[in-house]
């Protein structure tokens, strides 16, 4: 299976999760941020009321620069600005809706290291923008955007209660009769946006919290910590004899769990646990869940065995969300750890998902290693091939190797090949019941792509 690139190709700046890139290089500059503010501001002007935007960020050094540029852009077209400081992406989505803002902006490059940054946009309903809306904003950015008269320039202010609002909101995802007393939880916040709110929420619900990645200095976000670098968390869980470990990424919209033995638990197992529990309580909607083409075949088989469907969307939580809304599902996510629980949030929320896992741990009385091993995954291998330019997937030799691989896996596994929406790499994934065959297929395709790149 090969994903199409039509939506990405139509938007030169916006990828699968907003605009992202190396700060002060390429598109991710203060000038771009100011233009985004002006274009997004103009796009969301509707009616005669005073319009406003909520702007949050993670802990990157460049966040100050990007925030100032966005404020300049929005205020120059008459939009009032509310700044929250460092907060998770889902908190900005929440506040955008609760504060009746016209749009929300999160300044973050998610799990990337500090030198990168990004801009994510939310509509007044707290949901990420559609491809069409992003394309229109990008079109406006290429035009001369009219500025408002001096007396109509927007105002900017910071709010101090944003963290408390978010902590209160995420705690509501746990039933009032559930407490985490007696649990010892290691929480790794990746020196990122959740470094204050996630440990606080879990502690307030009664757990003993051992915190990692909670000392941001502007340049250490995701550096050896967080959901994409869990070795430190695994070691700490074992050292502390903790019940479970929680790893968030830089903007805290994804979650990876570590059991009490130090073993990693990915998003597929977490989705299986949450969906199963909700099915038992009768609160699972849509008759299944939405995941992506990257989710393990074992998850699909597990759900089918429970009479549930697995709907596969393109990679990117925005596409998972679109499929969820279209099909009436309230649970969706990605193997990488994005968990969208529409009963509690409008976008991926690692902290909410973590609280749901901890609640299940308390209710079950089982150790995490038993509770979180919901299904047996089939052998799966993902490799990335970096390329400098061109379209290696259009190479005849690459096409032939892919065709051979698809034929060999027919009826026994799956093949997914796609260009990344955030960096110049081709992702090659195969899975099936035969580990050696999976490895052979992936290696052959990677070699062909590398030779063509």
Cα separation, 172 vs 165, whole angstroms:
11
* Active site residues per annotation: 110
Residue 223 dihedral angles phi and psi, to the nearest 5°: -90, 95
327-374 tens-digit pLDDT:
999 999 999 999 999 999 999 999 999 999 999 999 999 999 999 999
Q: Following DSSP, what letter does each residue of 1-25 receive, concatenated?
A: -B---HHHHH-SS-BBTBEEEETTS
Spell out the residues 6+ positions from residue 301 whose beta carbon is closer than 8 angstroms to its own.
Answer: 375
Cα separation, 413 vs 430, whole angstroms:
7
Judge contact between 371 and 273, C-beta under 8 A: yes
Q: Are strands 156-158 and 80-86 parallel, antiparallel or unpaired?
A: parallel
Residue 159 dihedral angles phi and psi, to the nearest 5°: -110, 145
Cα separation, 323 vs 419, whole angstroms:
21
Judged by DSSP in three states, 294 sits in coil
Per-residue pLDDT tens digits of the chain, which is 453 residues long:
444 444 434 568 888 789 999 999 989 999 999 999 999 999 999 888 999 999 999 999 999 999 999 999 999 999 999 999 999 999 999 999 999 999 999 999 999 999 999 999 999 999 999 889 999 999 999 999 999 999 999 999 999 999 999 999 999 999 999 999 999 999 999 999 999 999 999 999 999 999 999 999 999 999 999 999 999 999 999 999 999 999 999 999 999 999 999 999 999 999 999 999 999 999 999 999 999 999 999 999 999 999 999 999 998 888 999 999 999 999 999 999 999 999 999 999 999 999 999 999 999 999 999 999 999 999 999 999 998 877 889 999 999 999 999 999 988 889 999 888 667 899 999 999 999 999 999 999 999 998 887
Cα separation, 404 vs 400, whole angstroms:
6
DSSP letter (8 states) at residue 387: -
pLDDT of residue 318: 87
Q: Domains of the chain, with CATH numbers?
A: 6-160 (3.40.120.10), 267-349 (3.40.120.10), 380-452 (3.30.310.50)
pTM (two decimals): 0.89
Cα separation, 103 vs 96, whole angstroms:
6
């Amino acid at each position: 299976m090969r994903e199409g690139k039509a939506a990405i190709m139509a938007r030169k700046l916006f990828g699968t999760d907003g605009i992202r890139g190396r700060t002060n290089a390429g598109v991710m500059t203060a000038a771009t941020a100011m233009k985004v503010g002006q274009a997004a501001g103009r796009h969301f002007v509707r009616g005669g009321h005073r319009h406003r935007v909520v702007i949050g960020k993670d802990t990157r050094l460049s966040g100050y620069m990007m925030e100032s540029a966005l404020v300049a852009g929005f205020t120059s077209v008459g939009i009032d600005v509310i700044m929250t400081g460092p907060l998770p992406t889902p908190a900005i989505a929440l506040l955008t809706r609760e504060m009746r803002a016209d749009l929300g902006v999160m300044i973050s490059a998610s799990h990337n290291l500090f030198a990168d940054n990004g801009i994510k946009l939310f509509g007044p309903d707290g949901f990420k923008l559609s491809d069409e809306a992003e394309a229109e904003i990008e079109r406006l950015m290429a035009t001369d955007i009219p500025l408002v008269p001096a007396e109509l320039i927007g105002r900017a202010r910071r709010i101090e209660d944003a963290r408390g609002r978010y902590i209160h909101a995420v705690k509501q995802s746990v039933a009032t009769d559930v407490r985490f007393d007696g649990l010892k939880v290691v929480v790794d916040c990746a020196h990122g946006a959740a470094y204050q709110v996630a440990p606080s929420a879990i502690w307030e619900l009664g757990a003993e919290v051992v915190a990692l990645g909670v000392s941001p200095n502007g340049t250490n976000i995701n550096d050896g910590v967080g959901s994409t670098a869990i070795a430190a968390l695994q070691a700490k869980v074992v050292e502390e004899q903790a019940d479970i470990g929680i790893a968030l990424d830089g903007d805290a919209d994804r979650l990876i769990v570590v059991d009490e033995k130090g073993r990693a638990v990915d998003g597929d197992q977490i989705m299986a646990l949450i969906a199963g529990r909700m099915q038992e309580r009768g609160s699972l909607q849509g008759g299944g869940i939405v995941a992506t083409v990257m989710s393990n075949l074992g998850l699909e088989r597990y759900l089918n065995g429970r009479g549930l469907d697995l709907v596969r969307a393109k990679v990117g939580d925005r596409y998972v969300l679109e499929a969820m809304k279209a099909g009436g599902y309230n649970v969706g996510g990605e193997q990488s750890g994005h968990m969208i629980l529409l009963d509690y949030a409008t976008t991926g929320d690692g902290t909410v998902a973590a609280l749901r896992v901890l609640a299940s741990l308390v209710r079950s009385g089982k150790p995490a290693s038993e509770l979180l091993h919901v299904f047996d995954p089939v052998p799966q291998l993902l490799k990335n091939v970096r390329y400098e330019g061109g379209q290696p997937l259009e190479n005849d030799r690459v096409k032939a190797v892919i065709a051979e691989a698809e034929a060999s896996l027919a009826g026994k596994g799956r093949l997914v090949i796609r260009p990344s929406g955030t960096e110049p790499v081709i992702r090659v994934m195969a899975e099936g019941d035969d580990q050696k065959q999976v490895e052979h297929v992936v290696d052959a395709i990677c070699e062909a792509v590398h030779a063509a790149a």
